[in-house]
Amino acid sequence: MADPAFPRDEPPYDAPERAMLIGWLEFHRATLAWKCGGLDDAQLRLRSVMPSALSLLGLIRHMADVERGWFANAWGGEGLPYRYSRPDEPDGDFFEVDDADVEEAFDAWGVECAHSRRLLDEVRDLDALGQGVRDGQHVSMRWILTHMIEEYARHNGHADLIRESIDGAVGE
């Protein structure tokens, strides 16, 4: 499923910890974009298997919220509301895709990733604790990076299965 429109740089095999973690995070961000590449709006909205609400568009919306939640809020202490999840619909990122604006979702994800990169660029010590709290605790940037890699990796597995069910395309 190689697509030159969605290039992915392989993470370094031998690098300092910071470069390694950021390399893997960027690889997984690019992988999610790659899994969505070349599909129309209806395909991006297709659900995986009942009763799951998973769709590629839902994953993009979810990761926009996850980027905001961990980088802007847990790290930066910005206290921003989630874009798609709300107290009355905590899974709005996944459930409310039928009429969702696809371009807006991809733009929002891009904005959140860019904001995360800017915040990360300012961090010199991965052991430093964020200004915000999550579950009543301050979280280190090392924890956030490791969690974000895990979050993307897990959802990229979902994306791979969803994409294969749409058009048979597979790939790492």
pLDDT in tens, 70-122: 999 999 999 999 999 999 999 999 999 999 999 999 999 999 999 999 999 99
2 — pLDDT class (breaks 50, 70, 90): very low
Domain boundaries, the chain: 17-167
Q: Residues of 40-52 as b/e, b for ≥16 C-beta within 10 angstroms?
A: eeebbbbbbeeee
Tokens 């604790």 identify what position? Answer: 129
Give the span between the Cα atoms of 45 and 169, in whole angstroms. 17
Return the higher-pLDDT residue of 140 and 4. Answer: 140
13 — pLDDT class (breaks 50, 70, 90): very high
**pTM, 2 dp:** 0.94
- The string of DSSP letters for 61-83 reads HHHHHHHIIIIIIIIT---PPPS
Tokens 């798609």 identify what position? Answer: 84
The class of domain 17-167 in CATH terms is mainly alpha
User: Which pair of tokens denotes residue 94?
Assistant: 């996944």
The pLDDT tens digits for 122-161 are 999 999 999 998 888 899 999 999 999 999 999 999 999 9
Answer whether residue 6 shows pLDDT above 70. Answer: no
Neighbours of 172 (CB within 10 A): 9
Give the span between the Cα atoms of 161 and 136, in whole angstroms. 35
